[in-house]
Amino acid sequence: MSDPVDAQQVSDLPLDDLVACHECDLLMRKPHLAHGEKAQCPRCGYELYAHRHNVVERSLALVIAALLLYIPANFLPIMQLNLLGQSSEDTVWSGVLGLFNTGMQGVAVVVFLCSMGIPLLKLLCQLAVLLSIRWNVGRSYGLLLYRFYHHMRDWGMLEVYLMGVLVAIVKLADMAAITVGLGLVCFISLLLVQVRLEMVMSPHQIWQALSGEDIHAGD
């Protein structure tokens, strides 16, 4: 737990020794953490930051795994639909094309950005940031890309798309024979890998490494 500070203490402490909770805005003295420890807000319990082991190497492995899953998740069939003797295979990409070809170009663009475009940009930004730390090159560009990544975080909505697919499967189950495709397995795996990546890739350590405060953030 971190120690809250009052207004008088704030004026006596350098900014580098202070941290504010992102949830309740409580201002606290920044604690020094050992490997494996994490700091929590004493008021709301929100995790302020953590000091994780091998954060860069573990994050790189997850980013590469997510990129390998990206193509099969979006271009392999999510499900096969058999209705009245006719069968069709649907992918994420074919769904975007179907919306576009039926006159819903605006919806198609939004679906493409939220389910394919922005998630890919996020992964590429994370990869570039982690490589800039790992190879100790271009960290100023890494800072820019990491800021850009944080602006995109709320726009990648793979979980919303997945919920839409699951709802469609449930609704169509009584009308047609549905076979789950390999694409859905890869899509769920991609989502789980990205969730794990968000947990492992400690923002506090990444910002420190990019600013040069701790060039051994991944050790």
Among the listed residues 8, 20, 10, 17, the one whose alpha carbon sits nearest the alpha carbon of residue 44: 20
pLDDT for residue 215: 41
pLDDT for residue 219: 44
Give the number of domains in the chain. 2
Reduce the DSSP state of residue 201 to 3 states and report it.
coil
Sheet order of strands, 3-4 included: 3-4, 27-29, 18-20
pLDDT for residue 7: 47
pLDDT for residue 13: 60
Question: Which of 32, 50, 68 is a domain's end point?
Answer: 50
Q: Both 173 and 66 in a single domain?
A: yes
Torsions phi, psi for 12 (to 5 deg): -95, -10
Contact 197, 126 (CB under 8 A): yes
What dihedral do alpha carbons 29, 30, 35, 40 form, nearest 10°? 70
Domain presence at residue 217: no
Domain presence at residue 146: yes
Residues of the chain under the 50 pLDDT cut: 6-8, 215-219
pLDDT for residue 174: 65
pLDDT for residue 95: 82
